[in-house]
Amino acid sequence: MFNEKEKLKEIINLGLEVAQVKDIDLLLEHILTRARRFVNADAGSIYIIEDDKLKFKYTQNDTLQKRLPSGKKLIYSTFSVPINNKSIAGYVALTGETLNMPDAYTLPEGVPYSFDKSYDRISKYRTQSMLTLPLKNNRGDIIGVLQLINAKSKDNRIIPFLKEDEPLIMHLANNAAIAIERAQMTRTIILRMIKMAELRDPQETGAHVNRVGSFAVEIYDAWATKRGIPQEQIDKNKDVLRMAAILHDVGKVAISDTILKKPGKLDNEEYEVMKHHTYLGARLFNESKSDFDEAAYIVALNHHERWDSNGYPGYINVMTGKTIPGYETADGRAKGKKGEEIPPFGRVVALADVYDALSSRRSYKDRWDEVKILETIEKERGKHFDPEMVDVFFNILDVIRSIAERYPDE
């Protein structure tokens, strides 16, 4: 057993590992370097929206850098700008417009924003041409601002940013926004996982959740490819699915230790309580701020539904746990979701989770041998599990086995 500190460390490492976390600072550096190279800009900055303000997060400036002794880093302070008409960055964050100005010192008559020259004065730099773009995620929400400064010609004169470069840079800004959001999300998740560390189910080891994440991604990939889902969409889904699958049982933190850690079989009443872990987990992601939140919600809620409709929690209101009116069964329960009423992420994690649970030792049961597991999965084709997903599971069994080897228990 890990002590509390080791457990925390383990979970943090896991979070970092599974998310292939790009440290947000490295990510910003990478984005700005690439954006500047596109348009040959001497300088640039990235602002990110935090707490309803625009925070200056990162900057590069070749001219100022060259004035420093080699090996020294450009020092800059972080500051906040209100999201309003006053500043150029604030205006772009507010309106989502792209501003391409040949000279920040001579703005057109009547524009609401103005350029603050004080930073130039302090740094002895002359800002001239400036291209300022919103960083929009794939939902169209503005999450920050990218500002490129002083485009240079081949002979190093400052020139305006070319109008025809704008679409390329906008495309890059969109990709950047998605990457930034992902890095922020990862950080949020890690923080959440840390909070839960002490409460977690001792069965839910790093190896187990990693395996479920990887099995789910591989099964989904094979299934979606067979279905002809576009590669781009598959890649995007794999990314969120892995983490969502890792957190499929996060609702177990709300289940009392006497049930969660019971060494023997659960009685009926205990099992009924245990079933609440589905919608209790989903509630954590109810706000659906990002694609990840949405995926995590779907997986937590639906991973114990069964293809034949005999799973749980079925048609309930996630906030109250009560059956949705009109969906009561004869014995007063909620009607289970059936077949394709269960979202694909739910169907895929159901299979990944059971496969791994059967392959693992639990405090109340031994691990099963592979023959018995595979027989069970085949037998449950079209009963517990989506038949198409069972078929692709058997097609990729070699990959599934290699994952189990990659993440052994201890």
Please report whether residue 305 would count as binding Fe ion according to CB under 5 A.
Answer: no
Shortest CB 357 distance to ligand C2E, Å? 3
Interacting residues of 185 by C-beta distance below 8 A, sequence separation 6+: 290, 292
CB 396 within 8 A of CB 222: yes
Query: Is residue 150 left, alpha or beta, with left meaning phi > 0 and alpha meaning psi from -120 to 50?
Result: left
How many residues appear in the chain? Answer: 410
**Which residue minimizes CB distance to ligand SIN?**
287
Residue (of 260, 289, 304, 97) closest to 185 by Cα position: 289
Ordered DSSP codes for 139-185: TS-EEEEEEEEEEE-TTS-EEPPPGGGHHHHHHHHHHHHHHHHHHHH
For ligand SIN, the closer of residues 126 and 262 by Cβ is: 262
Shortest CB 384 distance to ligand C2E, Å? 7
Torsion (CA) 17, 351, 288, 242 in degrees, nearest 10:
20
**Which residue minimizes CB distance to ligand C2E?**
357
Which residues between 349 and 388 bind Fe ion (CB under 5 A)?
A: 353
Name which of ligand SIN, Fe ion, ligand C2E, none residue 200 binds, using a CB cut-off of 5 to 8 Å depending on partner kind.
none
Name which of Fe ion, ligand SIN, ligand C2E, none residue 365 binds, using a CB cut-off of 5 to 8 Å depending on partner kind.
ligand C2E
Name which of ligand SIN, ligand C2E, Fe ion, none residue 47 binds, using a CB cut-off of 5 to 8 Å depending on partner kind.
none
Which residues between 126 and 165 bind ligand SIN (CB under 6 A)?
A: none
For ligand C2E, the closer of residues 106 and 268 by Cβ is: 268
Task: Give Rg (Cα) of the chain.
Answer: 26
Ordered DSSP codes for 242-288: HHHHHTTTGGGGGS-HHHHT-SS---HHHHHHHTTHHHHHHHTTTT-
For Fe ion, the closer of residues 7 and 289 by Cβ is: 7
Which residues between 368 and 407 bind ligand SIN (CB under 6 A)?
A: 376, 380, 384
For ligand SIN, the closer of residues 281 and 344 by Cβ is: 281
Binding site for ligand SIN (CB under 6 A): 192, 284-285, 287, 289, 293, 306, 310-311, 354, 376, 380, 384
Binding site for Fe ion (CB under 5 A): 249, 353
